[in-house]
């Protein structure tokens, strides 16, 4: 599907890990599928002393391994490389931005500036772009983390907002681009089946989990000053929560969707610092074994302080104070070095009030919806059915929507979808400033309390985190999904 949206895509941090693993592979997939305007250009920007030929060799060596399972189409790859230019740029030299402006002068269409850099560089880059007039007819994409707390987040947003209008700023959260998240919206708002059940009268609890087998890898310096609450909860988990819990929007335009998400974030019950120990669990992984391989403790990872109190695991009980969700607990969980790599949303419906079929139909979780975001993107609806044979014996069965089996078209990766949305000027799947502020305001009391208290609870790598996370759910007569199975 050819588009008519001409563009110049400028990639700051063009030699970085994110560019190699996610951004350039996503642009290649869009190019191969014919979704990019033929004359659109990509300009990679970095400090490395390279000419265009040297940079393309770098791309050949580092990007090909990260494209989809279907592999490389050499003809498409060659024509994709023809789109790419390289500009060596030193942020401290104004003349280098003049060089960038000159390189873009003859290129028509919308300018997209993707800042795949650390947040400390966001403001200097934006100011330098404005100094040479490159903030006109432009869109700016900001990667997370956008600040360290509410104050620093506001400082960045204020400075960027002096240069770019809110409608030009795309704060990216790649979880919002995942296919099952889009299908969650379709299931809820495109079908009459689920909406009557999507409320406190019929939902017992909701779990949202983002679990990783990996540790901090080579990001010890960054992670030890960030932690799981800032890295995952403030953005990914609260964004998924707002999608799950939002009211039906007036339309799917950007502000209608984001207005409803904002209402959810503002309805989050504030956490009293005195109650944090009851509704928030933080942990830090110790040495353990994952899939037969021994892995070290977090405190011994490169770049991590040996006495670090940074959390690598967070579990929270969250409540939404509005008419639809009052009294329904939302359990959020994320961690590194856990037993499996999985991201999923579990909607547990209430048990039937009375059954002549036996106690199995009365147990919590007999009816549930499991939306798997990774590694296999599926939606699965669980219900009870009679086992074949004599007697009325019930067993759990499920209905599957496995996207790769049902739809012949290949799934679009999250970054591919989001980059196309930037090029086309669609903001619905990007985070608005007031959403971000509401999320930081809710998270900050936890951050402050943890900063003043002792160390996180230990858990062995390869497990599902501290036992306290399971105990928190047990207080509500429920458990994490993997514990039940």
The stretches of 247-347 forming alpha helices (DSSP H) are: 254-267, 276-279
CA distance 92 to 117: 15
> Are 260 and 246 in contact, with CB atoms under 8 Å apart?
yes
Specify binding-site residues for NADP(+).
47, 90-91, 144
Sheet holding 41-46, edge to edge: 84-88, 41-46, 7-12, 110-115, 138-142, 169-171
Q: Provide the total of helices (H) and of strands (E) in the chain, helices listed first.
A: 18, 17
Alpha carbon separation from 291 to 80, 213, 216, 287, 335 (Å, rounded): 38, 9, 17, 13, 17
114-133 per-residue burial string, b: 16 or more CB within 10 A, e: under 16:
bbbbebeebbebbbbbbebe
Question: E strand or H helix at 97, and its extent?
Answer: helix 94-104
Q: Of 31, 48, 236, 476, which is the active-site residue?
A: 236
Catalytic: 236?
A: yes
Q: Where are the alpha helices (DSSP H) in 5-89?
A: 17-18, 24-32, 52-62, 74-81
Bridge partner list, 169: 140
Strand pairing report for 84-88 and 41-46: parallel
Cβ neighbour number for residue 455 with a 10 Å cutoff: 15
Question: Do residues 280 and 288 touch, judged by C-beta distance below 8 A?
Answer: no
User: Among the residues of 401-480, which ranges form H helices?
Assistant: 403-406, 414-424, 433-452, 467-474
Binding-site residues for substrate, please?
Answer: 174, 178, 212, 231, 336
- Residue list for the binding site: 47, 90-91, 144, 174, 178, 212, 231, 336
Dist. CA 419–CA 425, nearest whole Å: 10
Backbone angles phi, psi at 279, to 5 degrees: -120, 0
Active site residues: 236
């Amino acid at each position: 599907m050819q588009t008519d949206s001409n563009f110049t895509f400028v990639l700051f941090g063009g030699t970085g890990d994110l560019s190699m693993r996610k951004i350039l592979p996503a642009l290649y997939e869009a190019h191969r599928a014919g979704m990019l305007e033929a004359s659109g250009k990509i300009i990679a920007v970095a400090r490395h002393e390279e000419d265009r030929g040297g940079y393309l060799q770098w791309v050949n060596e580092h990007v090909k391994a990260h494209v989809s399972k279907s592999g490389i189409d050499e003809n498409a790859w060659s024509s994709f490389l023809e789109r790419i230019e390289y500009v060596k740029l030193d942020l401290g030299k104004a003349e280098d931005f003049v060089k960038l402006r000159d390189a873009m002068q003859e290129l028509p269409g919308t300018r997209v500036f993707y800042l795949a850099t650390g947040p400390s560089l966001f403001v200097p880059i934006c100011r330098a772009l404005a100094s040479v007039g490159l903030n006109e007819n432009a869109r700016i994409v900001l990667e997370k983390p956008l600040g360290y707390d509410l104050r620093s987040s506001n400082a960045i947003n204020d400075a960027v907002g002096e240069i770019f209008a809110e409608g030009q700023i795309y704060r990216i959260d790649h979880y919002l681009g995942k296919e099952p998240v889009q299908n969650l919206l379709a299931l809820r708002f495109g079908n009459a089946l689920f909406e009557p059940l999507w409320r406190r009268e019929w939902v017992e609890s909701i779990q949202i989990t983002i679990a990783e087998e990996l540790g901090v890898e080579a990001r010890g310096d960054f992670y030890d000053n960030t932690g799981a609450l800032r890295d995952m909860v403030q953005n990914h988990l609260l964004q998924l929560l707002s999608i799950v819990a939002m009211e039906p929007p007036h339309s799917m335009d950007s502000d209608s969707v984001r207005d409803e998400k904002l209402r959810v974030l503002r309805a989050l019950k504030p956490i009293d610092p005195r109650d944090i120990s009851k509704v928030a669990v933080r942990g830090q992984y110790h040495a353990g074994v994952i899939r037969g391989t021994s892995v070290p403790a977090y405190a011994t990872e490169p770049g991590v302080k040996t006495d670090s109190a940074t959390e690598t695991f967070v579990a929270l009980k969250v409540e939404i104070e509005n008419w639809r969700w009052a009294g329904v607990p939302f359990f959020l969980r994320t961690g590194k070095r856990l037993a499996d790599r999985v991201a999923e949303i579990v909607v547990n419906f209430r048990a039937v009030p009375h059954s002549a079929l036996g106690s199995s139909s009365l147990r919590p979780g007999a009816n549930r919806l499991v939306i798997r975001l990774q590694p296999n993107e599926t939606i699965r609806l669980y219900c009870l059915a009679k086992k074949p044979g004599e007697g009325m014996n019930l067993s759990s069965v499920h209905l599957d929507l496995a996207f790769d089996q049902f739809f012949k078209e290949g799934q679009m990766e999250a970054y591919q979808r989001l980059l196309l949305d930037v090029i086309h000027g669609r903001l619905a799947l990007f985070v608005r400033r007031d959403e971000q502020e509401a999320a930081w305001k809710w998270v900050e009391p936890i951050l402050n309390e943890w900063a003043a208290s002792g160390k996180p609870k230990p858990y062995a790598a390869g497990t599902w985190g501290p036992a306290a996370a399971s105990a928190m759910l047990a207080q509500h007569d429920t458990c994490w999904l993997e514990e039940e199975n």
